Structure 1
Amino acid sequence: MNINNITGIKLQRTFIDFNSKHHNNIKSFDTKENNSKQVVISGEAIKKYEFSNRLKEAFKEAFNDKKEDGEFIKSISNEYMKIRKEIKGENYSQDQDININILNEALEDVKEWATDSITNRFDMFFNYSSNIMPFYNMKKDEEIFNKEQFRDNLSSLMDKAVNTLKNLPENIGENDLNKKINSILISESKDNSLEKMGLDDIKKLNSFLNELPRLSLSYDVDKIKDNIENYQKTAKEALDSSGLPEHIKKNAKKAVGKNVRAYGKVSAYRIERKSREDEVEKLMNFYASLLSQYNSLEKDIKKCRKENNLKMIKSLLKMQMNLQKQMDKLKVEIDKAGKSKDALTSNPDSVEGTETFKEISEAFDEEEV
């Protein structure tokens, strides 16, 4: 195995361009240095990486946007049993027991990784507004979703599957395995909360998120409005056919409204900030150009004085005076533009009073926002 191929797994981002990255560290790499200072990776570490990678691929295959059933636990379970059968198929030796232990360690790691992947994805949808607005120094929005409580609930479901898998016989068939997994994972929400949703609702919600388009940041107001309208329309249609219970639908609709408003607000802020920064830069460049002309005239005036060319000096001084008037006027404009830029950056929430935000907000579905 080429060690250069061992990399972190980049999680799939779904419907927003929000700078959130998740890296999977390869744990428990046994290393030692030989006389030439070359790092050597132990065989056990390589096996654990290989097992983990196969289990992760099984998860991603069931959880990506090409799948509707979202049977990620079954997919991991089937791959786990497949690997275990491969190990047990070898002639018995102590290596079998060692490899089973390595596989079980890999399963535990992947369970945590998968739990975090799902939790983070749901958090990015339900709490998009509360996550993105502080990034732009805006007032934090109310959170809809308790990330830690949901993670605890999902982790409990995953633990049931993992503990069952470790004690199943190797010769169990795929159908029997799936029935066994189903029997231990049957769970319904015990209350009307997002955090306690059962596995079926988790799968349905994931399928709903797979349908959502991205809210891509842009400096084009028309493009932003199109993104908002498309997002709202797709979300409504996908929710109507999702089969989710009403309390989850209600919270999802609330999230959609908060998300498009946050997206519109952040987009308007970025446009206004860039516009004001560009204006200051344009005025400063113009001022620098006038100052250069002024200084050039100053040199010409000095030269004319040495030559005692009074007529030319008078003409140059007049030109210089006109430049000075333009520069004085420009200083006022620069100061005004700078204050406008500073007022926005010191209070980003004030962007709601701009024409840019008002124009973008025309795309909001008032029933959702």
Structure 2
Amino acid sequence: MKKIYTFLSIFLFVANFTKAQVVYTGKPMYNIDVKRGGIYLGSIKVELFPAIAYHHTRNFDSLVSMQFYDSTAFHRVIPGFMIQGGDPNSRHGATSTWGFGQPSQPNVNAEFSAAKHLRGILSAARSTNINSATSQFFICVAAAPNLNGQYSVYGRVIGGMNYADSIVLAPRNSNDLPNVKHEMHITYIGSNDTLPLKPTLNSPPDNSLSVSINIAPLLKWNAVPVGIIYTLEVADDSSFTSIIKTLETGNLSAYVNSGLLPGTKYYWRVKANNGGHVSDWSDVWTFETFIDLVGIKQKQEASKFTVFPNPSSGKFVFENAQLGDQLEVLDVTGKLIYTNTFKETSHEINLEGKDKGVYSYKLISEKETFQGKIIVK
């Protein structure tokens, strides 16, 4: 009973210790020295992301400081996916218990983010309970997009990835347990205090006056070294007090900006998070939008088919259609949201409450199809 009490006391200490806010100067770095069957294999060097997942970083750092990980194993390997380790049962317990953890371990609440599970990413293992992460972690040996937004990314490999590749290819049993133990010893080696550069915007060019929204504009910026998460803001005022859109794109340096209104001047900017620090905002660029209705007007005039008012707060009247014509309306993402067969030559639809932006419609008759745009303002 004494050993169990001591072990539990240590975990309670860690649980309370991780609650204290610690200021990191950057990204803490560690060597994960690995032995295969008692023989030194190599060292996997990692850095953690306190600016993305502070509590997971602090938990890992605390466990390293008390040598918790020493003699634990990479107990699960799946080629083309990941290696997983850090279970205290893998020190001396039966292999049948490896991966199940111990109930006395404190949990770390989920810190889901836009950071993507790419090759070399370190993330928190958990059960079906999203807040059940403890000491176990995994390293992706290949991109795993199905995990994005579902598991807490909190670090990445910056050296020795070849040893992770060697571990994942080790012979294993039907439970993905390597036939030979891969034992780890983790030590703190310093901090990567690199500050991310502020991104530079790329397109559309600054002060563009004729950005068509017939096709949603693509906003692009130049990637910065180790940009883990980019944050994009779009506003209709230069002070960004009226923000139209704010989102994180992960490591993607482009975004298709749908749902914009024509005849509007937009302001946009981007900042980068490298896991340890967040950059300054980029310079602010602007563009003005328009919608090309020339071809649509010609078709409508030929058939005397009209839509009014357009733009509208949500109610649109389609007039001079033929009985039996089919109407389809698609939202700003291209999803079909409305369909109707004309039983009269005039028909009203109501999109009040829908997102503001440009919607597409099709009027399908026996002889031809009319296509156009309606604008919810």
TM-score, normalised by the number of residues in structure 1: 0.25
TM-score, normalised by the number of residues in structure 2: 0.24
- Indicate the structure with greater helix content: 1
Q: Which has the higher contact order (CA 8 A, sep 6+)?
A: 1
Higher-Rg member (1/2): 1
- Indicate the structure with greater strand content: 2
